[in-house]
């Protein structure tokens, strides 16, 4: 299954399929809207976006306080290059189901483009075959291309737009979608020169320009035809006319003022490079790029085409949305929609990065370099929060500033510091790249670790961390959140180890780093002591790690008295009401057990799973995949499969009802981790890598690759387990507790 296909034309599917069939390349993304249907505009979210591009808007408070963010970033909708109206003998196409047959749309994961087509019947009974194709180049991130082909026995006209009249989508009733501040860009220049259409826009506050340069080519029955360009109000309309068969090629090049100082020079250089390329040429480029990607990153599923389709859908959309330079990251909705205003969260480090760490080290490194790039902003934020040293990374951001106006469930999530450090440490475990740690990683690890010495304190020979919020957003500003404390313990322990390893590796360069950030051995010794003495709340009677100091003293939420239409709770109950009860939005302690399984024995992890599962609503899309992974760890294989199926089809089946606002990127990655970390039991630790495979439910098996210490392994799990060394030096791997040295291929018996 190498494509997503739909034949559904129902209006209620429009918004959903705009997200599912969106295209992107990590820089530019555009939703899968219908080019030719202006009458549907009011029913759609007709957006295109540039990753890392932002406007700043004021945050309005009824009552503000010291340190509250005054401004927030927001990802603007950029100029529209999608719209292309079609006229047949002067009659405009009206998108009515009765006039359309043989409708289809495809997102091709192998060739990297989207296609849509149908046969249209005019009011006179004549028929036209119409096919639309679009592609965002993985080879050149600035390029977006369209092709429209119309076959019709009569006069054909295509009117294609470059439209600056754009505004963002908003929903005042849903905190997951922005409200207000819809028109974020102003038009600077709109003109035609040398048969190219130019549109430059700029953000109002940040004054960051964005440029689109659009080149057209029209063919009538394969012969080049002239185009007519006209400036109409805030848009340029380019018309192509012909008979029998008309094809319009449209190449759009985007540049922005964050990445280049000369938008026009850069855009024209790229346009010149591609101006003679056909759409087929671009597909061939895409396919070559994607062959390399799939050769490394594909997860083969045996026994279920439905699951295979979903896994490849997820792997493909992650590639389409993930930033590939230090300016950008991957937002909660990627480049597929406007939910969460294009903000980046800790989702990247705990869900998305682990997947790219497996097989795409260069992408993983760029995501880490983004965090290094915004380190100065995190250090400034730490000062605003009253810290003398260190860095406090924002809960949600684009440019590096804190964009959350609700601190109890935002800024108070100090675990973000440890999450980011964890991802740098994971990269180090995969590659032992001391040079990268010396130049970027260690500085982030040290600066973020400093915060634990500021917000923690000693009490009765133990180290405590008060007034924080863990991953669970239904419990806020608590003392000794288990997840936060466990991650801080790991973080500070590694800060100490890195200090010693890097000092030994290159003492001269390391001294320069320590001098740069004024880091002393005494400070690192304090981190080591705090780590060793970290308080991890435990309830001996229940045999579980308590989520925090007071969580288990609260009354349990009245689940029987809560109607199905009252979920998610955050849309129907005041936060204070939710905070007073034992109820979880998402995995918290259970997530800690996945990331740091050495901090609890298996019995405690099982007890915790059993207890917290009963009071978790999974209102967050980040939850089911983690419960599935931990169900595999605990030996609850039926549950593991159920949670996996809930996660793997979440967007395709619109299970949370809000896929229209964009795909759930963390869940896309988390579902894939459900195969690798869940069913295969893959773990990477300081002492090496390990697996403990199972094959649950209707699956017949699976196969995936790992890039570890410069070598490539392939894990193939069916009736038996085959582990192949594809490239590089021999690798040691632990399987079901026994260590094996992989020099070529070994086959082992799979436990049932």
Rg (CA), the chain: 27
Q: How far is CA 425 from CA 418, 430, 436, in A?
A: 10, 9, 11
Cα separation, 250 vs 145, in Å, equals 6
3-state secondary structure of 10: coil
Q: How many residues in total does the chain contain?
A: 752
Cα separation, 55 vs 338, in Å, equals 14
User: Catalytic pick from 473, 509, 511, 698?
Assistant: 473
DSSP code of residue 42: G
3-state secondary structure of 443: helix
Q: How far is CA 621 from CA 114, 193, 356, 479, 737, in A?
A: 26, 47, 19, 26, 32
Q: State both tokens at 1.
A: 């299954």
Q: Is 423 exposed, middle or buried (0-12, 13-18, 19+ CB in 10 A)?
A: buried
12 catalytic residue (yes or no): no
User: For 235, phi and psi rounded to 5 degrees?
Assistant: -145, 160
Cα separation, 287 vs 687, in Å, equals 38
Cβ within 8 Å of residue 59, ≥6 positions away: 68, 69, 70, 71, 72, 405
Residue 340, CA atoms < 13 Å, CB-side half-sphere: 24
Do 404 and 412 touch, CB atoms closer than 8 A?
A: no
> What is the number of other CB atoms lying within 10 angstroms of the CB of residue 461?
7
DSSP per-residue string spanning 550-596: SGGGSEEP-STTS-GGG-SGGGTS-HHHHHTEE-BSS-SHHHHHHHT
Closest CA to 263 of 185, 200, 206: 200
Q: State both tokens at 599.
A: 């901090």
> What is the number of other CB atoms lying within 10 angstroms of the CB of residue 737?
7
Cis peptide before 655 (omega within 30 of 0): no
3-state secondary structure of 101: strand
Q: State both tokens at 222.
A: 């394969």
3-state secondary structure of 477: coil
Cα separation, 113 vs 287, in Å, equals 9
Q: State both tokens at 394.
A: 């924002």
User: For 115, phi and psi rounded to 5 degrees?
Assistant: -135, 145
Cα separation, 493 vs 527, in Å, equals 7
**Catalytic amino acids?**
473
């Amino acid at each position: 299954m190498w494509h997503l296909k739909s034949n559904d034309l129902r209006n209620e599917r429009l918004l959903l399929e705009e997200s599912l069939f969106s295209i992107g390349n990590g820089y530019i993304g555009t939703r899968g809207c219908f080019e030719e249907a202006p009458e549907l505009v009011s029913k759609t979210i007709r957006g295109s976006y540039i990753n890392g591009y932002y406007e700043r808007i004021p945050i309005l408070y009824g009552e503000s306080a010291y340190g509250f963010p005054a401004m927030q970033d927001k990802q603007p909708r950029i100029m529209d290059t999608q719209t292309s109206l079609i006229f047949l003998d002067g009659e405009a196409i009206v998108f009515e189901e009765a006039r359309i047959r043989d409708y289809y749309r495809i997102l091709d994961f192998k060739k990297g483009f989207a296609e849509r087509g149908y046969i249209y019947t005019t009011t006179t009974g004549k028929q036209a075959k119409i096919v639309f194709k679009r592609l965002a180049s993985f080879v050149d991130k600035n390029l977006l291309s369209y092709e429209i082909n119309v076959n019709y026995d009569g006069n054909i006209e295509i009117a294609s737009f470059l439209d600056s009249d754009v505004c963002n989508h908003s929903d005042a009733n849903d905190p997951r979608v922005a409200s207000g501040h819809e028109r974020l860009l102003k038009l600077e220049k709109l003109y035609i020169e040398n048969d190219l259409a130019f549109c430059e826009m700029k953000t109002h506050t940040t004054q960051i320009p964005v440029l689109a340069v659009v080149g057209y080519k029209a063919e009538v029955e394969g012969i080049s035809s002239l185009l007519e360009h006209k400036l109409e109000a805030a848009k340029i309309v380019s018309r192509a006319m012909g008979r029998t068969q008309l094809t319009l090629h449209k190449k759009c090049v985007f540049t922005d003022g964050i990445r280049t100082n000369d938008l026009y020079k850069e855009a024209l250089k790229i346009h010149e490079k591609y101006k003679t390329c056909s759409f087929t040429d671009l597909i061939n480029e895409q396919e070559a790029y994607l062959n390399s990607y799939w050769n490394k990153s594909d997860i083969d599923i045996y026994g279920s085409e439905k699951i295979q389709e979903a896994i490849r859908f997820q792997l493909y959309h992650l590639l389409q949305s993930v930033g590939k330079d230090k300016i950008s990251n991957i937002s909660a909705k990627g480049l597929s929609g406007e939910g969460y205003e294009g903000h980046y969260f800790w989702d990247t480090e705990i869900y998305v990065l682990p997947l790219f760490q497996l097989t795409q080290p260069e992408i993983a490194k760029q995501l880490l370099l983004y965090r290094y790039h915004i380190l100065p902003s995190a250090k400034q934020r730490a000062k605003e929060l009253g810290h003398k040293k260190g860095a406090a990374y924002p809960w949600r951001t684009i440019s590096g500033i804190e964009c959350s106006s609700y601190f109890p469930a935002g800024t108070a999530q100090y675990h973000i510091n440890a999450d980011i450090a964890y991802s740098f440490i994971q990269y180090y475990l995969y590659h032992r790249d001391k040079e990268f740690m010396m130049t970027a990683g260690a500085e982030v690890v040290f600066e973020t670790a400093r915060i634990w010495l500021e917000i923690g304190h000693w009490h009765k020979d133990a180290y405590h961390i008060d007034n924080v919020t863990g991953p669970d957003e239904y419990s806020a500003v608590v003392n000794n959140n288990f997840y936060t404390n466990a991650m801080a313990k790991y973080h500070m322990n590694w800060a100490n180890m890195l200090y010693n390893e890097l000092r030994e590796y290159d003492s001269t360069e390391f001294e320069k780093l320590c001098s740069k950030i004024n880091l002393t051995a005494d400070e690192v010794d304090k981190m080591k002591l705090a780590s060793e003495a970290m308080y991890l709340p435990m309830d001996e009677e229940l045999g579980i790690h308590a989520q925090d100091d007071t969580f288990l003293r609260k009354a349990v939420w009245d689940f029987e008295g809560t109607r199905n239409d009252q979920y998610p709770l955050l849309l129907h109950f005041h936060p204070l009401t939710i905070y007073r009860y034992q109820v979880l939005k998402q995995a918290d302690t259970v997530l800690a057990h996945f990331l740091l399984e050495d901090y609890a024995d298996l019995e405690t992890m099982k007890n915790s799973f059993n207890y917290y599962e009963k009071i978790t609503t999974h209102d967050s899309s980040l939850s089911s995949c983690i419960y599935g992974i931990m169900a595999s760890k605990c030996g609850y294989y039926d549950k593991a499969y159920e949670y996996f199926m809930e996660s793997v089809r979440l967007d395709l089946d619109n299970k949370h009802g809000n896929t229209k606002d964009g795909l759930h990127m963390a869940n896309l990655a988390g579902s894939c981790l459900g195969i690798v970390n869940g069913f295969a039991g893959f773990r990477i630790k300081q002492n090496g890598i390990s697996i403990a495979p199972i094959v649950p439910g209707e699956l017949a098996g699976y196969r995936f690759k790992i890039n570890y210490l410069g070598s490539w392994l392939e894990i193939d799990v069916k009736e038996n387990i085959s582990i192949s060394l594809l490239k590089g030096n021999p690798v040691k791997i632990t399987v079901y507790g026994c260590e094996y040295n992989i020099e070529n291929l070994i086959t082992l018996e799979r436990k049932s």
